């Protein structure tokens, strides 16, 4: 990669107040935040999504691969197959792909951690709850490295079990 080539990675994630993103291999609020799922779909459709094997496995089979998106599954398992997806074993492949087009990193924790140092934009759903038995976490963010903007707020209602806010974080790049 030359100095004038920039990666175009966006991490998109929903987390609770303590950065919990998963519990027992699933989203803690699976099926209970309709507006956030609709936002995720609108934001990522037409793009490439990068996800780890565990995240791929957590998606119900009837929804795999995610429609209207190129799905790139990152795994160390050289035998892994994912019908309708591109399977890669080296994160650098996805980094090279991101020079040509925007890639949305959609999880899980290990994948977020790998790509966070190269990511210039985050789209974070801050779910207003505390999951006490969560076992998967988004990496710690140094908030001073990011400028944030509220995209929208959703109050709890019949389709959304919890209130939440969606924020966009843009990395502050010092020249």
Q: What is the pLDDT of residues 50-106, one digit of tens each?
A: 999 999 999 999 999 999 999 999 999 999 999 999 999 999 999 999 999 999 999
Residue 173 confidence (pLDDT): 79
Asked whether the bond before 65 is cis by omega within 30 degrees of 0, the reply is: yes
Q: Is residue 4 part of a domain?
A: no
pLDDT at 150 over 70: yes
Separation of first and last alpha carbons in the chain: 19
Q: Is residue 39 part of a domain?
A: yes
- CATH number of 43's domain: 3.40.430.10
Contact 119, 95 (CB under 8 A): no
Q: Is residue 2 part of a domain?
A: no
Rounded to an integer, what distance in angstroms lies between the CA atom of residue 89 and that of residue 84? 16
Percent of the residues in the chain that have a pLDDT greater than 70, as a whole number: 97
Torsion of the alpha carbons at 109, 115, 121 and 127, rounded to the nearest 10: 0
Mean pLDDT of the chain: 95
Is 111 strand, coil or helix? helix
- Please tell me the pTM assigned to this model: 0.94
Q: Quote the tokens at residue 124.
A: 């974070």
Q: Quote the tokens at residue 102.
A: 């925007």
Residue 174 confidence (pLDDT): 62
Q: Is residue 132 part of a domain?
A: yes
Residue 2 confidence (pLDDT): 47
Rounded to an integer, what distance in angstroms lies between the CA atom of residue 76 and that of residue 72? 13
pLDDT at 4 over 70: no
Q: Give the DSSP letter string of 45-103.
A: TTSEEEEEHHHHHHS-GGGPSPTTSEEEEE-S-TT---TTSEEES-HHHHHHHHHHS-E
How many domains, the chain? 1
| Segments forming the whole domain that contains residue 66 | 9-171
Residue 67 makes CB contacts below 8 A (sequence gap 6+) with 45
pLDDT at 137 over 90: yes
Q: Is residue 3 part of a domain?
A: no
The tens digit of pLDDT for each residue in 99-132 reads: 999 999 999 999 999 999 999 999 999 999 999 9
Q: How confident is the model at residue 3 (pLDDT cuts 50, 70, 90)?
A: very low
Residue 175 confidence (pLDDT): 44
């Amino acid at each position: 990669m030359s100095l004038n080539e920039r990666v175009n990675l966006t991490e998109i994630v929903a987390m609770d107040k303590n950065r919990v993103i998963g519990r027992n291999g699933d989203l803690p609020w699976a099926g209970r935040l309709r507006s956030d799922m609709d936002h995720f779909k609108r934001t990522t459709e037409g793009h490439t999504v990068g996800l780890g094997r565990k995240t791929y496995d957590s998606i119900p089979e009837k929804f795999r691969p995610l429609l209207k998106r190129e799905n790139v599954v990152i795994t160390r398992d050289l035998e892994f197959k994912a019908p309708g997806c591109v399977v890669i074993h080296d994160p650098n492949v996805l980094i090279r792909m991101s020079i040509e087009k925007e890639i949305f990193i959609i999880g899980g924790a290990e994948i977020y951690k790998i790509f966070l140092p190269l990511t210039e934009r985050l789209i974070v759903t801050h779910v207003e709850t505390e999951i006490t038995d969560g076992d998967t976490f988004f990496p710690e963010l140094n908030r001073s490295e990011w400028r944030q903007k509220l995209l929208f707020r959703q109050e709890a209602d019949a389709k959304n079990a919890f209130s939440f806010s969606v924020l966009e974080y843009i990395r502050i790049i010092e020249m």
